């Protein structure tokens, strides 16, 4: 076998060619996080008070506190809204559960209020920066690595709703929707791409041809997990799934 065609040689060449782009995405992600943390002084005030942005972040922090006091049970009905009837909490539980788990781990099972507020304040900025990763790969699959880098730069720094809702202190579930829906699309695309590359047919499923089915199946399962996370962040995710199913 020609050494240039050896699997190990091919793998090394792929790693070498992709390394500059991987480093570029990492740098874009870190700078994106830094940009989202810039209003630090407007969130963490000099008197020790943590000032969350807008109304919904305060609501999520209250939900987070109630969750930690009764962990792992999260309230789904809030008697303190829509007086005197109360109202159901319409958004999903995953966003609050993720913050609760991080708080419990960092607080060794008993997080302080300062730690809870700190986790809550930084959480949207971290999720916003992580969104750079799936956006890069979606761009790469559509138009190549340079397109992926351009897409990553745009999602990282473009002004607008995504930036404002993934800034430090804007502790709302919208940034989780964006992250998980984008990861869902990335793995959904990978499942379709690998299915076409392997010439997947229904006969392969019935005949248990795992060499053909394995790769698309793995990506499909991960896409399903990401969609589930999206659905648990926002009930309206079913509309997004409907569009994907129509395409598929």
Q: What pLDDT, in 10s, does the model give residues 104-130?
A: 999 999 999 999 999 999 999 999 999
Query: Is 228 exposed, middle or buried (CB count within 10 Å of its CB: 0-12, 13-18, 19+)?
Result: middle
pLDDT at 28 exceeding the cut of 90: yes
pLDDT, mean over the chain: 90
Local confidence band at 54 (pLDDT 50, 70, 90 cut-offs): confident
Tell me what the mean pLDDT of segment 10-16 comes to.
Answer: 68
Sequence ranges of the domains in the chain: 19-171, 173-248
**What pLDDT does residue 11 have?**
58
Pairing state between β 77-78 and 87-88 = antiparallel
Using DSSP, state whether 78 is helix, strand or coil. Answer: strand
pLDDT at 239 exceeding the cut of 70: yes
Given a contact cutoff of 8 angstroms between Cβ atoms, the answer to whether 67 and 92 are in contact is no
**What pLDDT does residue 244 have?**
84
What is the pTM for the complete model shown? 0.89
| Packing angle of the helix pair 94-106, 174-197 (nearest 10 deg) | 100
Local confidence band at 247 (pLDDT 50, 70, 90 cut-offs): confident
pLDDT at 234 exceeding the cut of 90: yes
Tell me what the mean pLDDT of segment 146-175 comes to.
Answer: 96
| CA atoms of 32 and 38, how far apart (whole Å) | 10
pLDDT at 6 exceeding the cut of 70: no
Query: Is 219 exposed, middle or buried (CB count within 10 Å of its CB: 0-12, 13-18, 19+)?
Result: buried
- CB neighbour list of residue 122: distance below 8 Å, 6 or more residues apart: 37, 168
Residue 23 DSSP label: H
Residue 50 DSSP label: B
Length of the chain: 248
pLDDT at 95 exceeding the cut of 60: yes
Nearest Cα to Cα of residue 182 among 219, 149, 135? 135
pLDDT at 5 exceeding the cut of 60: no
């Amino acid at each position: 076998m020609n050494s240039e065609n050896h699997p190990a040689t091919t793998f090394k060449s792929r790693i070498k060619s992709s390394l500059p782009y991987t480093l570029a995405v990492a740098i874009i992600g870190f700078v994106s996080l830094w940009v989202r943390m810039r209003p630090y002084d407007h969130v963490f005030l000099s008197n020790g008070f943590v000032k969350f942005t807008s109304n919904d972040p305060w609501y999520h922090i209250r939900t987070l506190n109630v969750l930690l006091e009764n962990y792992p049970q999260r309230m789904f009905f809030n008697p303190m809204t829509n007086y005197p009837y109360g109202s159901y909490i319409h958004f999903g539980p995953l966003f609050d559960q993720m913050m609760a788990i991080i708080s419990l781990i960092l607080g060794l099972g008993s997080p302080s209020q300062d730690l809870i507020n700190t986790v809550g304040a930084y959480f949207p900025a971290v999720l916003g920066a992580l969104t750079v990763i799936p956006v890069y790969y979606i761009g790469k699959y559509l138009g190549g690595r340079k397109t992926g880098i351009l897409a990553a730069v745009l999602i990282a720094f473009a002004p607008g709703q995504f930036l404002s809702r993934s800034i430090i202190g804007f502790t709302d579930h919208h940034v989780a929707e964006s992250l998980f829906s984008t990861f869902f699309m990335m793995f959904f695309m990978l499942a379709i791409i690998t299915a076409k590359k392997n010439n997947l047919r229904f006969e392969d499923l019935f005949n248990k041809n795992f060499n053909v089915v394995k790769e698309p199946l793995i990506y499909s399962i991960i896409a399903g997990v990401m969609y589930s996370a999206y659905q648990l962040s926002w009930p309206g995710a079913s509309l997004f799934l409907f569009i994907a199913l129509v395409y598929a």
